[in-house]
């Protein structure tokens, strides 16, 4: 090879090396800036939505709980426990209908599930199982002096409420399940990401994304995501702020949410055959055009499985029925409370 060609190749190699180094430097800078933005957003979100209730000690940490209505030891119509769904926290059901129940004389406890709101992610990745969360919540209810309680679960929280009734029946006097996710669904995943997410590379990239781009992008598009969840109804103007939804953008909560969604299908394959064992009064409420959790697959099947369960299907209502059909939710709680009183008498 002539000397001029060799020199030309060496110059080209040096240029490519410099370009590669510059590209890597730019990528590293962008990652650092995104991580800094996530840190700032996390601080701002936590400052805007500080703990609003008390933290209850359980094995390994604490669970956060919001309370309304008569306190422990005061005269009440009974205790109602509210369990939120994915991408939420205890303020979601408390704001929607919890305070209304408190005004009717119920002692209302809305818990942040492990890893959400201000609850610790107790048991690490194992806390993605509704059974593990049920055990921790049962322990918190015991510490709160909440005897057998009427448990209300929305969406993912429906699987958790059912798990509480199956594994700790002494803590549950009745169930109200709202647009509940209860059975393995066709397709086997919550979304198309799940198979990729489970790979080692996918988990590393998701961990990195949670600490860099998830919060900035999530903050920009959170209202659009919420609009999809509320369809076909419209998003209430004060929902995101009132329900403290931005708390889910924090890296640890973002990953906890993904873990909970990713493991739900396999868990329901194991739990769903046990539903005929549920022996407490049960009411199920769902919308007939829920785009998130299909009513026929979950709510209708549960009504057939649980002895004595009642099913109310609301025409024209979607997934967020605790906001868009609150009267029906409150009526279901009153129905189960009345059935419980009759059984007690």
| pLDDT, mean over the chain | 91
Of these ranges, 17-26, 27-36, 159-168, 213-222, the one predicted with the greatest mean pLDDT is: 159-168
Q: What is the DSSP letter of 193?
A: T
CA-based torsion, 114, 322, 110, 331: positive or negative:
negative
Express each pLDDT in 260-273 by its tens digit: 999 999 999 999 99
3-state secondary structure of 171: helix
**pLDDT score recorded for residue 192:** 45
Domains of the chain, by residue range, sit at: 49-344
CA angle at 143 for the pair 80 and 120, rounded to the nearest 5° = 90
Q: Concatenated DSSP letters for 202-241?
A: HHHHHHHHHTTTHHHHHHHHHHHHHHHHHTTSPPPTTHHH
Express each pLDDT in 103-159 by its tens digit: 999 999 999 999 999 999 998 889 999 999 999 999 999 999 988 999 999 999 999
Express each pLDDT in 297-319 by its tens digit: 999 999 999 999 999 999 999 99
**Cβ contact 107:79 at 8 Å:** yes
User: Which carries the bigger pLDDT value, residue 161 or residue 2?
Assistant: 161
**Cβ contact 184:112 at 8 Å:** no
Q: Concatenated DSSP letters for 254-321?
A: HHHHHHHHHHHHHHHHHHGGGGGG--S-EEEEEETT-SSS-TTTTHHHHHHHSTT-EEEEETT--S-H
**Cβ contact 239:226 at 8 Å:** yes
Location of structure tokens 């009504």: 303
**Cβ contact 154:85 at 8 Å:** yes
- pLDDT (mean) for 14-24: 64
Q: What is the CATH number of domain 49-344?
A: 3.40.50.1820
Element (H, E) at 150: strand 149-154
Q: How confident is the model at residue 33 (pLDDT cuts 50, 70, 90)?
A: confident
- Pairing relationship of beta strands 149-154 and 282-287 according to DSSP bridges: unpaired
Tokens found for residue 200: 């080692």
């Amino acid at each position: 090879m002539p000397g001029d060609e060799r020199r030309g190749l060496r110059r080209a190699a040096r240029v490519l090396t410099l370009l590669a180094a510059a590209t890597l430097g730019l990528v590293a800078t962008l990652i650092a800036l995104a991580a800094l933005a996530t840190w700032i957003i996390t601080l701002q979100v936590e400052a805007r939505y500080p703990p609003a209730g008390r933290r209850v000690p359980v094995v390994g940490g604490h669970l956060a709980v919001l309370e309304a209505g008569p306190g422990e030891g005061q005269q009440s119509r009974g205790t109602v426990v509210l369990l939120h769904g994915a991408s939420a926290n205890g303020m979601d059901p408390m704001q929607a209908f919890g305070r209304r129940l408190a005004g009717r004389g119920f002692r209302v406890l809305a818990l942040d599930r492990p890893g959400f709101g201000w609850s610790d992610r107790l048991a690490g990745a194992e806390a993605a199982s509704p059974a593990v969360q049920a055990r921790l919540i049962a322990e918190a209810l015991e510490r709160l002096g909440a005897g057998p309680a009427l448990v209300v679960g929305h969406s993912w929280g429906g699987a958790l409420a059912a798990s509480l009734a199956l594994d700790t029946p002494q803590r549950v006097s009745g169930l109200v399940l709202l647009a509940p996710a209860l059975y393995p669904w066709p397709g086997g995943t919550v979304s198309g990401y799940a198979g990729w997410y489970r790979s080692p590379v996918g988990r590393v990239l998701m961990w990195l994304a949670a600490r860099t781009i998830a919060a900035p992008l999530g903050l920009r598009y959170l209202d659009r995501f919420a609009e999809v969840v509320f369809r076909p109804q419209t998003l209430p103007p004060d929902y995101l702020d009132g329900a403290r939804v931005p708390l889910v953008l924090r890296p640890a909560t973002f990953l906890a949410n993904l873990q909970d969604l990713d493991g739900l299908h396999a868990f329901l394959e194991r739990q769903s055959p046990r539903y005929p064992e549920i022996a407490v009064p049960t009411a199920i409420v769902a919308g007939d055009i829920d785009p998130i959790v299909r009513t026929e697959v979950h709510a209708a099947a549960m009504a057939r499985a649980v002895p004595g369960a009642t099913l109310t299907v609301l025409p024209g209502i979607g997934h967020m029925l605790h906001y868009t059909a609150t009267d029906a939710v409150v009526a279901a709680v009153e129905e189960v409370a009345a059935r419980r009183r009759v059984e007690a008498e």
